[in-house]
Amino acid sequence: MGAGAVGHPIIEGQQVRKTYVGRDSRPTVALAGIDVAFREGDITLLVGPSGCGKTTLLNIIAGFEKADQGAVFERGTPIKGPHPRRGVIFQDPNLFPWLTVWENLMFGPNVRGEDKHVAGQRAEELLAMVGLLKFRDHLPHQLSGGMRHRIAIIRTLANAPEILLADEPFTALDEHTRRKLQEDFYELVSRTRQTVIFVTHNIEEAIYLADRAVIMSPSPGRIKQVIDIDLPRPRDIVDLRFNEYRKMLFNLITPDVMPE
């Protein structure tokens, strides 16, 4: 990391279009041919109400899904499928339940044939940072929900991805656990100036984490506005300027919320 110039687009989408055929066989336009760019070293939040295509965009960047038209490029090369350079944190922790915490952390380095010593040191460091060293030989179901999310985050980081993609990882957690995890998350990614693309529908989460917020709107899914969040860190969620951003994003997103 860090080698490329900070601020240069590392991921770029051109005319990305994706349509799903629903159960009533009516097509839903998840992404209506959008152009989007993500800068290296930035934490970019994709924010918008459900149906705005933010998760679809993330899945295309991850390589899990393919765009119907247009393409997404990583440093100028079209993305064709998943790659360990682009690590993903899912909505559920999604740990392998038959592997211990340690085996989960070493899954990526092992399948990639990375040096065990180097990867092991990195994994141990990450485990220590999230304070779960003594749980290394536990199975995932023996941990609490918050611990599982922490392990899921560092499992992806232990694989040393260049770009970190996160799909609403904290949505299912209670408020206090979520705040703590947001802090931990920022601490983990900021020390290496990790490039992050993070999907959320939570305005507060977006302002707390983002260097830049990409506001999306639904039917058809498109980008409404890109806002740089110019607040000092660590951010205070009850600060006056934080609230100004909150109001700005709220006014942008609320009119787009569709009745279910």
Give the residues lining the site for another protein (CB under 8 A): 62-64, 81-84, 86-88, 90, 92, 94, 96-98, 107-108, 111-112, 139-142, 155-156, 159
13/109 with CB nearer another protein: 109
Q: At what angle do helices 175-190 and 145-157 cross, to 10 degrees?
A: 20
Q: How far is the CB of 15 from another protein (least distance, A)?
A: 25
Q: How far is the CB of 169 from another protein (least distance, A)?
A: 12
**Rounded distance between C-alpha atoms, residue 43 and residue 197, angstroms:** 6
140/218 with CB nearer another protein: 140
Strand arrangement of the beta sheet that strand 9-21 belongs to: 27-39, 9-21, 69-74, 77-78
88/206 with CB nearer another protein: 88
Question: What six digits make up the tokens of 30?
Answer: 């998840």
**Rounded distance between C-alpha atoms, residue 18 and residue 30, angstroms:** 6
Phi and psi for 163 in degrees, rounded to 5?
-125, 135
Q: How far is the CB of 139 from another protein (least distance, A)?
A: 5
Q: Whose CA is closest to 97, among 15, 157, 39, 152?
A: 152
157/253 with CB nearer another protein: 157
Q: Whose CA is closest to 8, among 193, 213, 222?
A: 193
Q: How far is the CB of 114 from another protein (least distance, A)?
A: 9
157/203 with CB nearer another protein: 157
64/73 with CB nearer another protein: 64
| H or E element at residue 223 | strand 222-228
In which residue are the tokens 């983990």 written?
188
Strand arrangement of the beta sheet that strand 163-167 belongs to: 86-89, 163-167, 195-200, 43-47, 212-217, 222-228
Q: Which residues contact 218 (CB under 8 A, 6 or more apart)?
A: 48, 49, 50, 51, 52, 53, 256, 258
20/96 with CB nearer another protein: 96
Q: How far is the CB of 28 from another protein (least distance, A)?
A: 20
Which amino acid is located at 210 in the chain? A
